[in-house]
């Protein structure tokens, strides 16, 4: 979960948590996130906490990375020794490109989680992957190791769009990799799309949607391009080499995605995510959105247990060095206030198809919900049932609706 590091209190060297945070750990579900910070090259739009070989410097290698993660797991086991979670419901290995690690190391990491806290019988285990970083053999090995779900970064089926984004795979490779993952026995396969890239036409995006549907996957994520400061793409736009993304174009692309995916049997369950069946929904992300507990391993990873949120040092070398010294890699943490928890609950749950209970809103928020209903941004049937559920137009203006519910 990369991003800007917020201000917060320091983390004890042993990573200890307040007793009130661990008293009911996992009562609303428990997940594990593992961040793998390695990439073969840096995409022009990416500001995630990732590093190419040239950017790593000394002190860490891909070959030693799994050992560092296992060392952090041992520390986590000590921190939660008195109140371990009842089980691990979901595991998500993200990055970066996790599949740049040897398959045996990805298997060791999953086995380490199982030995630490125990995997639920129906555990969902996801790994992200770039299409060019997997083969039929590696996919079969991952499935045999216990990975049940894979999320492939397709972004687009148009070669020109992939070039603007600095993606390395060919236009057809993501669809081919999705087929290989299905053949390898993965229960669930996701393809990620990015829309609104400069130069992308409506026909380009329609072709991407057609290929996603034809690939036979059961989950699709589609996100509008966000231009992050400090990226190569942002620099190109400042120089006038590329135009900035258009909000109107992004709205048109979203409507096209909803139309094509719903016609193909997908249903939205979060503003940017569609699944063929309820079983195909990403349970790990649902854990985040519902305010559950999770422990994040790896440089820059964020965690949340019992209202305490903390984050690790970002650079892999600093991360490995702290663990080698027997210290927590945590850089800072914060205890969420009731107001902050409420704000995040509204922001996240409103984006879900099931919506937000109106009862959690204060009087000003309830008035905002009535205004959103009158403006056609909330579903009338959902409102009568006591929930704030976004309409299709509301999904396009979700951030504005949130602001109205959090005056």
Q: For 152-171, give one letter per residue: b (16+ CB within 10 A) or e.
A: bbbbbbbeebbebbebebeb
Residue 48, pLDDT score: 74
Mode of pairing for the β-strands spanning 267-270 and 330-335: unpaired
CA atoms within 13 A on the CB side of 290: 17
Main-chain phi, psi angles of 104, to 5 degrees? -60, -35
In 1-67, beta strands by DSSP E: 30-36
Residue by residue, DSSP assigns 123-143 as EEEEEEE-GGG--HHHHHHHH
Residue 4, pLDDT score: 36
Q: How far is CA 178 from the centre of its chain?
A: 19
What CA–CA distance (Å, rounded) separates 357 from 209? 33
Output DSSP code: residue 217.
Answer: -
Residue 5, pLDDT score: 37
Given a cut of 70, the residues of the chain with pLDDT beneath it are 1-8, 47, 54, 57-59
What CA–CA distance (Å, rounded) separates 279 from 337? 33
Residue 289, pLDDT score: 94
Residue 2, pLDDT score: 34
Both tokens of 174, joined, read 């993501």
> Chain-wide mean pLDDT for the chain?
92
Residue 54, pLDDT score: 65
Residue 169, pLDDT score: 79
Tell me the three state secondary structure of residue 50.
Answer: coil
Q: Are 176 and 221 in contact (CB under 8 A)?
A: no
Both tokens of 379, joined, read 């579903």
Both tokens of 47, joined, read 């500001």
């Amino acid at each position: 979960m990369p991003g800007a590091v917020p201000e917060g209190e320091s983390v004890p060297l042993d990573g200890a948590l307040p007793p009130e945070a661990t008293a009911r750990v996992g009562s609303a579900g428990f997940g594990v996130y593992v961040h793998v910070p390695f990439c073969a090259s840096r995409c022009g739009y990416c500001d995630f906490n990732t590093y190419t070989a040239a950017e790593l410097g000394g002190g860490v290698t891909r070959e030693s990375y799994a050992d560092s993660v296992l060392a952090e797991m041992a520390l986590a086991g000590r921190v939660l020794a008195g109140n371990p979670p009842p089980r691990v419901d979901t595991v998500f290995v993200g990055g970066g490109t996790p599949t740049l690690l040897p398959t045996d190391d990805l298997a060791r990491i999953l086995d380490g989680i199982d030995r630490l806290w125990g995997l639920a019988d129906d555990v969902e285990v996801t790994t992200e992957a770039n299409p060019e970083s997997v083969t039929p053999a590696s996919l079969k090995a991952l499935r045999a190791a216990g990975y049940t779900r894979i999320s492939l970064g397709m972004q687009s089926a148009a070669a020109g769009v992939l070039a603007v984004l600095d993606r390395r795979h060919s236009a057809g490779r993501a669809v081919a990799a999705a087929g290989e993952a299905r053949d390898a026995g993965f229960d669930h396969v996701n393809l990620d799309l990015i829309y609104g890239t400069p130069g992308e036409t409506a026909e380009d995006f329609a072709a991407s949607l057609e290929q996603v549907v034809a690939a036979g996957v059961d989950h699709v994520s589609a996100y509008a391009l966000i231009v992050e400061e400090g990226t190569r793409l942002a620099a190109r736009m400042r120089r006038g080499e590329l135009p900035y993304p258009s909000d109107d174009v992004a709205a048109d692309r979203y409507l096209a995605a909803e139309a094509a995916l719903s016609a193909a049997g997908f249903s939205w369950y979060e503003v940017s995510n569609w699944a063929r069946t309820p079983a195909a929904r990403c349970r790990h992300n649902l854990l985040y959105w519902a305010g559950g507990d999770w422990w994040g391993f790896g440089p820059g990873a964020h965690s949340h247990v019992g209202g305490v949120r903390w984050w690790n040092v970002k650079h892999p070398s600093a991360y490995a060095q702290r663990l080698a010294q027997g210290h927590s890699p945590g850089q800072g943490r914060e205890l969420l206030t009731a107001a902050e928890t409420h704000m995040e609950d509204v922001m996240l749950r409103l984006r879900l198809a099931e919506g937000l209970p109106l009862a959690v809103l204060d009087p000003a928020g309830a008035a905002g919900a009535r205004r959103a209903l009158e403006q056609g941004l909330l579903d009338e049937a959902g409102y009568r049932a006591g929930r704030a559920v976004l309409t299709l137009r509301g999904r396009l203006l979700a951030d504005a609706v949130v602001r109205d519910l959090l005056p």
